[in-house]
Chain A
Amino acid sequence: MIVRITVQISMSSREICDSVLESLEPDNVEVPKGIIIEMSCHQSIFIVDVKSEDTSVLTARNTIDDVLVHANLALKTLSSIDMR
């Protein structure tokens, strides 16, 4: 079975999006076997695409969870820089 989850998050600027992407480069996120993650910025929209082949739906969901937790951390840090 192939599972595909795409999440799009609107960020406040392209700059923020690129920086979150830098924090999340695929080699920085532990990717389980059978999972392919693609991340990109389209203008200020952060796009995460997780494809799962021959793994459980739960694995794909956990992967996207990990990415989102990581993205949230990066986003909070970057936002706090601008707020100061």
Chain B
Amino acid sequence: MSAAPLVNVISYIKSVKHMYIVFSADLDAIITSSLLLRVAREEDVEAYLATFYEASKPSDPGSSILLVKVLQRTPVSGVKIIHIDELVGRDPKIISSSTMHLLRELKKQILVPRYIEMLSLIAMLSLSRSSTYDKNIIEVHRALLEEAVDKNLFSMLETLRLFGYPRRDVVEALAKTVDPYVLGVSLNYDGCKKLLEEVGGSLSSNEAKSKLIEILASKLSSYCRSCESLVGPKIILKDATPIDDVYEATYNLYSYIDLQGVDPLIYVCMDSRIIDIAKGVFEYMSKPIKDLIDYVVSGANIKKVIVKGIKVGVVDISTVSRMPPLFTVHKILRSIGVTEDVTVFTNGKEFLLPLPFVAPRWPYDKELAIERGYAVFKALQDLGEVFK
């Protein structure tokens, strides 16, 4: 999976007058770019960042552009292009975290704060195809986790997979858990309180724990088509500041991108308050998320269609009063197997495609109508041109 980098990352940053970074709109690429920005600032190198759909050719001749998980579409004259994979020894054919590769390379030369290591775990989990507990993700990154991440930062425990558990109060852990999304429990404090009463008021005994797992599994079995086990290995951070739970933080950051767009997140490696604010954003959107997921899971406002050979779930959101964070909703639905690898949302007039689904190529030759964290299309067929 990993090879020795062709160019040393710090040497590269020091060698350029200005660093131009063009990045993909997925969480891993954003965190990688943010980390590069942080290092560039520490090295007093001016860095300019843009997403692949916004980036234009730099005006200074002979400049070098660093592509972060972006494919070069056509040759660009007068510009030297380098891919992040060449700097960090990542095989682009294998889905693996560029952030974690970058972290490993940086740690060979500089001190990296623990907060960045925590972010690299989020970057890794964000690559999961369905649930963030997807065991393949850990499998693919096993060697990198050993090499790049401090062993004192986390432990892998066999435990109940609830956000913040076992550190957090059970009712709160149940209510905040959206992977897996349990109808009547997730984002529903009253439902959680009732459930805890049903199992005896606490999880102090193994009997109560088993009963809780049994009830949750029974609820999930009625609609979950590909659920990860409720009990299994889970990354538990040993020091919970500033991130309580990396699985939860992954969803919080998805919703932050959905609602604020990609740009503000570029500072996530410099300011840990973004993580806290993303938590607040998720909390603020919890009702629209809950309303839509409940509706999709219990109703039939999802259609499965094939667009240019790709299976797509189309979710009708024309009845929602507040726009939910779309990619977050997709990830929640995907983690329970209710939607396909790609979800498109329709408001009745247009089709909304979350930005992480847009194939990252540069220079970008299409006009995208972007609002918040999604692109707007008039017809479903138009989407086939831009899919990842």
Across the interface, do B372 and A74 meet the contact criterion of CB distance under 8 Å? no
Across the interface, do B280 and A23 meet the contact criterion of CB distance under 8 Å? yes
A74 in complex: contacting residue of B242, B259, B280, CB < 8 Å: B280
Across the interface, do A84 and B372 meet the contact criterion of CB distance under 8 Å? yes
> Quick check: is B276 within 8 A (CB to CB) of the other chain?
yes
Whether A78 contacts B260 in the complex (CB less than 8 A), given A22-B279, A70-B276, comes out as: no
Interface residues of B in 228-280 (CB under 8 A from A): 240-242, 244, 259-260, 264, 273, 276-277, 279-280
Across the interface, do A70 and B283 meet the contact criterion of CB distance under 8 Å? no
Residues of B contacting A20 in the complex (Cβ-Cβ under 8 angstroms): 280
Interface residues of A in 15-43 (CB under 8 A from B): 15-16, 18-25, 27-28, 30
> Quick check: is B144 within 8 A (CB to CB) of the other chain?
no
A55 CA to B154 CA in the complex, in Å? 34
Residue of B nearest to A20 (CB): B280
Across the interface, do A27 and B240 meet the contact criterion of CB distance under 8 Å? yes
For this complex, into which size category does the number of interface residues on chain A fall?
20 to 34
Across the interface, do B284 and A15 meet the contact criterion of CB distance under 8 Å? yes
Across the interface, do A78 and B281 meet the contact criterion of CB distance under 8 Å? yes
Residue of A nearest to B272 (CB): A28
* A contacts with B: majority SS: helix
Residues of B contacting A27 in the complex (Cβ-Cβ under 8 angstroms): 240-241, 244
Across the interface, do B277 and A77 meet the contact criterion of CB distance under 8 Å? yes
Across the interface, do A18 and B283 meet the contact criterion of CB distance under 8 Å? yes
Across the interface, do B281 and A28 meet the contact criterion of CB distance under 8 Å? no
Whether A24 contacts B276 in the complex (CB less than 8 A), given A77-B260, A81-B259, A84-B372, comes out as: yes
Across the interface, do B276 and A74 meet the contact criterion of CB distance under 8 Å? yes
Across the interface, do B280 and A77 meet the contact criterion of CB distance under 8 Å? yes
Residues of A contacting B283 in the complex (Cβ-Cβ under 8 angstroms): 18-19, 22-23
Across the interface, do B260 and A80 meet the contact criterion of CB distance under 8 Å? yes
Interface string of B361-387 (1 = CB under 8 A from A): 000000000011000000000000000
Interchain residue pairs with CB less than 8 A apart (29):
A15-B284, A15-B287, A19-B280, A19-B283, A20-B280, A22-B280, A22-B282, A23-B277, A23-B280, A24-B280, A25-B279, A27-B240, A27-B241, A27-B244, A28-B241, A28-B242, A70-B273, A73-B273, A73-B277, A74-B276, A74-B277, A77-B260, A78-B280, A78-B281, A78-B284, A80-B260, A81-B259, A81-B285, A84-B371
Seen from chain B, the residues whose Cβ lies within 8 Å of a Cβ on chain A are 240-242, 244, 259-260, 264, 273, 276-277, 279-285, 287, 371-372
Closest 8 CB pairs of A and B: A23-B280, A19-B284, A22-B283, A19-B280, A28-B276, A19-B283, A23-B276, A22-B280
